[in-house]
Chain A
Amino acid sequence: MNTRSHYDVAIIGAGMSGLAAGIRLAHFGKKVCIFERHNAVGGLNSFYSIAGRKFDVGLHAMTNFVRPGVKGTPLTKLLRQLRIERDEFALCEQKQSRIAFGPRGETSLRFTNDFAVLEAEVAARFPAQIDGFRALTAAVRSYDDVSLDAQPISAREVVRRHLADPLLEDMLFCPLMYYGSATERDMEFGQFVIMFKALFLEGFARPFEGVRLVLRVLLEKYRAAGGERRMKCGVKQIVTREGRATALVLDSGEEITADHVISSIGAPETERLCRAGFTPDRSGLNPDLQVGRLSFVETITILNRQPAALGWGSDTIIFFNDAERFDYARPAGRVDPRSGVICLPNNFDFGPGRELSEGVFRVTCLANYDPWAALPEEAYRAEKARVFAEVQRSARRFLPAVDDATLADATLTTDMFTPRTITKFTGHFGGAIYGAPVKHRQGRTALSNLYLCGTDQGFLGIVGAMLSGISMANYHILQRG
């Protein structure tokens, strides 16, 4: 008799996608266990404390926001599938966001959760392009983006059929790429459609308490449905035999077995668990196992006042760029401060009299993993400080002017993460938040009972990751009975 633990389904990783898959499976009576290496859930979307202060990782905004009563969109689908009542997430809407291009953000497009605002802005700034923009929007609306077997086409090509102004083209791509492209310079059109809907046709919101609330709701659903979870319990090997995953070896050496395995840790990361001696393919010779080239740094500045007190009260998210052409690519140096994303989480509409207790000013820029990874500890710290200043200085050009002394006086503390931080805490190779450039929409792997969900299945972001977990659990396990 075998005394090892046996599960119907073992899930690797307690990020958004793994938790969502777990909820579905546990709800329908499967014996499920989620194995997580870290001591916290959430993965790329989590939080941590330093000196009693909680910092959110990830979550600038939950995309795909729609108001109650709007149905058939990703947010409503995922709430239904996870049996979450809308009120449980208590989403608060953004005030407004902006795409700001030029050395001081001279060309700017505002957008809110009401698409008409963006449309009017495009009409005002790019009158010659508005018909094309409307045609592009129509093409986006009618595209079947949930098909799991669509043929890849270039989004740049499709967009250029409608828009003749490269500035407008870049301005539209900038937020969509920052919030959901694992590929440099161009996107697959299906992914462009998903992101266009998620940001522009739908919108941004967040719970007052941030990502912690989302995680708490997910964990509670999972627990109530009877799912098991083992923390600080990484999977170090997937034992394979005759084309199947037959056992998982945990970091402790313990072995467990499962009929099905779902991995949320990424495609090359999963491959490494299956094959001893596997090293991620940086040459790109095996496109299925490429490591993503895109990584990010983020600076976090905690303020002793609301951003509004500095004159920064109107914008929730700002996507900025001052390069001639927007260059969404791995930078040559450690970081590319020419473009990025500013997030002021205080500027969601939390309702009368309610505000976050401290001001937060975050800036994300593209970064290159390799030069960060190679640095010895001391040099790493020094570089962090240098890049912090560079990134913050660049971003401030796109906000109303605040002099250095005032900002310094308002600053309580700062923190920063780099590509190295991402790899350390989530295990993603290359600090690649959006994973590998080649996605596996059907979640299949070389092993018949091992499936991918999350980042490398290809639905990105918080809402995307949850939908990915749901779809893979449905498609590979629940639908088969």
Chain B
Amino acid sequence: MTKDECKQVVLEIIADIAPDEDLSNVKPDVRLRDQLQLDSMDFLDIVMELRKRHSIEVPEKDYMQLASLDSCAEYLTPKFNALPAKS
């Protein structure tokens, strides 16, 4: 998975948990919280959807790593690539 694909995965999750947000212009280097109305309940949902859909675990101490799309990609891409290949 590339970092761009990883950002896409995160955007898809946000689109599902916050269908009322416009995601067409999300800036990758700006904190998600600063450009979208996401609260702590929504961030918890991003973490749980990552686990549910992709078996990716994000421990609580790493939640800050999900602040922006860039930091998500930085942090999550290696985790995606470390998953056992899907058969």
Binding site for B on A (CB under 8 A): 28-29, 68-69, 71-72, 76-77, 79-81, 83, 85-86, 470, 474, 478-479
Contact = CB atoms under 8 A, between A and B. Distances in A.
Contacts of B29: none
Interface string B11-24: 00000111110000
Contact of A29 (B16, B37, B39, B52): B52
B49 to A, nearest CB: 9
Which size bracket describes the interface of B in this complex?
10 to 19
A83 B44 contact: no
B20 A68 contact: yes
A356 B45 CA distance: 38
A117 to B, nearest CB: 26
A71 B42 CA distance: 12
A-B complex: 4 closest residue pairs judged by Cβ atoms = A71-B37, A72-B37, A28-B48, A80-B18
B41 interface: yes
A470 B52 CA distance: 18
Contacts of B18: 80
Contacts of A29: 52
12 contacts: A28-B51, A68-B20, A71-B20, A72-B37, A79-B20, A80-B19, A80-B20, A80-B41, A80-B42, A83-B17, A86-B20, A478-B44
A82 to B, nearest CB: 11
A474 B44 contact: yes
A378 B78 CA distance: 74
Contact of A72 (B16, B17, B39, B52): B39
A72 B36 CA distance: 11
Interface in B1-41: 16-20, 37, 39, 41
A71 to B, nearest CB: 4
A77 B41 CA distance: 8
Contacts of A69: 20
Contacts of B44: 474, 478-479
Contact of A80 (B17, B51, B52): B17
A478 B37 CA distance: 22
A322 B19 CA distance: 46
A83 B16 contact: yes
Given A68-B20, A69-B20, A76-B20, A81 B45 contact: yes
A81 B37 contact: no
A79 B42 CA distance: 11
A68 B37 CA distance: 14
Contact of B52 (A28, A68, A81, A83): A28
Contacts of B19: 80, 85
Contacts of B20: 68-69, 71, 76, 79-80, 86
